[in-house]
Chains A and B, each alone.
Chain A
Amino acid sequence: MDFFSFFRKKQQPASGSVAKDRLKLVLVHDRVNCSSQVLEMLKTDIIKVISNYMEIDTEELDIQITQTQSDDNNGTVPVLYANIPIKSMRKMNQD
């Protein structure tokens, strides 16, 4: 840390933590062996199915693979995370 660093606008994060964050993300995809192509196909299919029941905001839709703590607490497991904003329900014939 030198004297002039005090005057600099914003401290960039150190590259070590940047490397760690990038690696974590890339490994999540590597480990489940899921290409962005497959994810895109999945996304299209999910939109198709859900659209039968409700009107959704496809612009704000967010589908990704992340990691979460496993139930038995020994390490992490991949999860499919989907955030799908609903605009309105479709009228259904309920009988």
Chain B
Amino acid sequence: MSEVIVITSGKGGVGKTTTSANLGCGLAVLGKKVALVDADIGLRNLDVVMGLENRIVYDLVDVVEGNCRLKQALIKDKRYDGLFLLPAAQTRDKDAVSPEQMQKLCDDLKEEGFDYIILDCPAGIEQGFKNAIAGADRAIVVTTPEVSAVRDADRIIGLLEANELRNPVLILNRLRIDLVQRGEMMNIEDVEEILAIDILGVVPDDESVVIATNKGEPAVTNNDSKAGQAYRNIVQRLMGEDVPIMTFEQAPETFMDKLKKLFKK
């Protein structure tokens, strides 16, 4: 069975592309055949996050316009068996593709035998968003615990449901545990209550994600990374396994910790 999942958010900069890369990579590590599709035409980024920017020959618009075959445009990630990237065009804009063409592209990818097709949706609610959700079977909404991102997520959830993408699930990204513990950031329950949707996963704010992105290696493969563990859990939940949401309780800093910190500087 193959499934098309769109990763969307409304607001930009909340981590759609990073989430797409990590989920795609995580699924491939577990032996699934995965196509990552960058639907952000004109603002191509999934390729650099994946570290595949030097291998692009054809792109999504080339496939849609018939300049190449689908197989020619799919870049095989040599590090992970079964992981492929379909990059976005960089010199075109969102109007270069129609929702019908995206639908057909998704159907073609399903026929290629992919288990999961993950669409990285552009920010906004215009043409690019409409294109990206056209062929999707289910949707994942990414947000951060900030008022602007949650407000946009609410709008996106409404639009998804209006477009027959029922029951989207949420990934709460970049949760700052220290701030939540001080009450200076909305917590998981707050966001869940406000948006009234199921939470697929919570990813803590973690510098290992920045480092991983710098290197073009998704954090999901880093066993020492907290965010990586969070992504691995999400991947398992996507595959239907019941994995509890990580708890992030931090032990309060002891006097000795503070002393150690003092001498480190």
Q: Do A and B come from one complex?
A: yes
**Closest approach, in angstroms, between the C-beta of A24 and any C-beta of chain B?**
6
Count how many pairs of residues, one from A and one from B, have CB atoms less than 8 Å apart in the complex. 43
In the complex, besides A14-B182, A15-B184, 19 extra interface pairs with C-beta distance below 8 angstroms are: A14-B183, A14-B184, A15-B183, A16-B183, A16-B186, A16-B187, A19-B147, A19-B186, A20-B193, A22-B147, A23-B150, A23-B194, A26-B147, A27-B154, A27-B194, A30-B154, A31-B154, A31-B158, A76-B196
**Closest approach, in angstroms, between the C-beta of A18 and any C-beta of chain B?**
9
Residues of B within 8 A of A (CB): 146-147, 150-151, 154-155, 158, 179-180, 182-187, 190, 193-194, 196
Contact A16 B184 (CB under 8 A): yes
CA distance A23 to B143 in the complex (A): 14
Residues of A within 8 A of B (CB): 14-17, 19-20, 22-24, 26-27, 30-31, 75-76
In terms of DSSP, what is the predominant structure of the interface of chain B? helix
Contact A23 B151 (CB under 8 A): yes
- CB-nearest residue of chain B to A17: B183
Contact A23 B147 (CB under 8 A): yes
**Closest approach, in angstroms, between the C-beta of A66 and any C-beta of chain B?**
15
Contact B194 A16 (CB under 8 A): no
